[in-house]
Structure 1
């Protein structure tokens, strides 16, 4: 595994038995989504009576937080563990710290995110946005990855790509959709004859995106897109936001 603190604290590479699992490129790999996940409607959210505006980096919305555009600092790093952090700053209006931990074994990777405040309470979200290669090895050979999961519901997506608040039984892909998994995220990706990778998290939400030919995304997150407005979780001086996801793999 290669972690890139200077490029948003993202995982730049993850290789199993010499095979790269993540799409390569400065925008790809696996980046943390913090202090919000997915699209934030028109870049606005409220904390009590105060409204804040974030830059519209995916007009007409703000998307995926500020952490992926930030230089993270390295607190500790060795051959199988790393700890990165950054201090929340403009354009985010509240002071605080985000910490990200990576723990690697021969068969798994465990990721942790923590968001804490230095002052006032504020709403926040956390999650990860991995870009898994649709095919392993030769991109023109072999069968593409299969995605298997059993969510309780699918959020209806409006024309603005935001959840409408209406829930329906999960439908077939292709997806750019948010799913509810109240017992925790549990999604299995299988590259037939090559590798099986299971993404789990105690978090109850996942966005699945498979509309591109090169890669698919399975994104465990603490709340749905636009959740700062529709399903806010408060970070308080006594209660930080903590998020964990584990990827476990086996060769087939």
Structure 2
């Protein structure tokens, strides 16, 4: 099948999935109001096969040291799949499945699958990585850009969450390994939520949206004027080195995030 945009609808919700632009969710409208920042680099893109930055673009893969392109010098950031064209495996009115085969510079042949399911009050996305051969370390995450303001003179979004800790951020923007008591924003920081990611975005008087995942790590980035990012992921930045999760021939790596909303 092609990699043209897919529009999912359920109730008064409409989501646009763009396989051809990195497998991202390029739009999410509730009652006609766009929740995601618009633009080719925005929406919500998949972070795979790693999340956030890898220090100096290098990670240990068994006994081998692998080098990824430094697309955010001096680091490599957000994986390779957001730069590729995904393919549509199937699509219905309210569900879609898209796939992407990992290729160079990633050293291992593997398939990434994203499945999207839209309801009138929520969107669930599941992503998996399956190897065609050897085992390797990987990460899965999502990088949504939620509009800070929904227009019509309303208030800016509020971000509420109760993390167990905040990863100390070094001068190189990577976690040092120390865990701190969570501090006030603005943030470009990774937090630990051992009971699962649970973050509430509230546009006062308009909409409440919860970002949830069984994963235990979330990066919150709210240093840009236009948008706020809440990024569930299977490990912290530089996690290929510090918290590797293995994809094996008998066990893929899989993660799910759900966004659920209600009118206020």
TM-score by length of 1: 0.98
Report 1:35-114 matches (<5 A): 35-114=49-128
Distance (whole Å) between structure 2 residues aligned to residue 55 and residue 176 of structure 1: 22
Task: Show the counterpart of 2:28.
Answer: 14
3-state SS of paired residue (2:42): coil
Aligned length: 250
| Corresponding residue to 1:178 among 186, 190, 203 | 190
Give ranges in structure 1 of 5+ residues lacking alignment: none
Distance (whole Å) between structure 2 residues aligned to residue 80 and residue 110 of structure 1: 11
Task: Show the counterpart of 2:161.
Answer: 149
Task: Show the counterpart of 1:123.
Answer: 137
Task: Show the counterpart of 2:238.
Answer: 226
Contact 1:20-1:137 within 8 A present in 2 as well = no
How far 1:137 moved relative to its partner? 2.5
3-state SS of paired residue (1:68): helix
Pairwise CA RMSD: 0.6
3-state SS of paired residue (1:229): helix
| Corresponding residue to 1:159 among 168, 171, 177 | 171
Contact 1:96-1:116 within 8 A present in 2 as well = yes
Residue by residue over 1:84-115, the C-alpha shift from the partner in whole angstroms, topping out at 9 and shown as x without a partner, is 00111100000110000000000000000000
Residue by residue over 1:7-47, the C-alpha shift from the partner in whole angstroms, topping out at 9 and shown as x without a partner, is 00001110000100000000000000000000011111011
Distance (whole Å) between structure 2 residues aligned to residue 87 and residue 174 of structure 1: 36
3-state SS of paired residue (1:37): coil
TM-score by length of 2: 0.94
3-state SS of paired residue (2:178): strand
